[in-house]
Amino acid sequence: MKIKEIIVVEGKDDTVAVKRAVNADTIETNGSAVDQSVIEQVRLAQQTRGVIIFTDPDFPGEKIRNTIAESVPGCKHAFVTKDEARPKNGRGIGVEHASPDSIRKALSEAHLTVLDSVSEISQDDLIHAGLTGGEGAREKRERLGVILKIGYTNGKQLLKRLDMFQISKAAFDDALSMIEQEDKHE
């Protein structure tokens, strides 16, 4: 599988894992303190070939993702779940631990984000759905992120993430129905 866009990853191990899964070029941020030279590389890549941001499903990975997305509009975003990014020994979390199949799937499902759009989903919808502030909300957000392919986010950032990926109210409601059906079968 050849990827046209340049994939932004955190480090060398991520590059190795991506190249095991697909034929692609990468830009490595080398940590969460993304410097201006990396931003300029990403900006040039976005202008010439397009960019997919593919960072770890953890706080530093989200920080890198947000820094780049704010500086370079129009990037696509790919996500692996925490379970997919966990090594067999259970230590650490990162793209470098994901299987080639998980990486291919994440890259094929990469989303384009749109900033400053108007969401069909409200904070009240999130509260009513049990996605913020109550028992089990974190697990429900994790499952929602997998179903909608938008990655995990905390309760404060969920509405922004849904809006950024232009998730429709219908798609949101469908995902919640899937979660309810899964719960009934457990």
* pLDDT of the residue at 118: 60
Residues 28 and 55 in one domain: yes
* pLDDT of the residue at 156: 84
* pLDDT of the residue at 9: 97
Residues 18 and 99 in one domain: yes
Would 102 be classed as within a structural domain?
Answer: yes
Residues 127 and 98 in one domain: no
The Cα 27–Cα 80 span in angstroms is 18
Residues 88 and 147 in one domain: no
Q: How far apart are the first and last CA of the chain?
A: 37
**HSE-CB of 125 using CA atoms within 13 angstroms:** 14
> Domain of 73: which CATH number?
3.40.50.140
For residues 162 and 153, the answer to whether their CB atoms sit within 8 Å is no
* pLDDT of the residue at 138: 92
Instruction: Give 80-133 pLDDT, tens digit per residue.
Output: 988 899 988 777 899 999 999 999 999 998 988 665 556 688 889 999 999 998
* pLDDT of the residue at 82: 87
Would 118 be classed as within a structural domain?
Answer: no
Residues 17 and 65 in one domain: yes
Q: Within the chain, which residues score under 70 in pLDDT?
A: 113-119
For residues 25 and 70, the answer to whether their CB atoms sit within 8 Å is no
* pLDDT of the residue at 111: 84
The 3-state DSSP class for residue 27 equals strand
Q: Take residue 174 and report the two structure tokens written for it.
A: 């469908």
Number of domains the chain is built from: 2
Alpha helices in the chain (DSSP H): 12-21, 36-48, 59-71, 100-108, 123-128, 137-148, 155-164, 169-184
Residues 88 and 133 in one domain: no
The pTM assigned to this predicted structure is 0.72
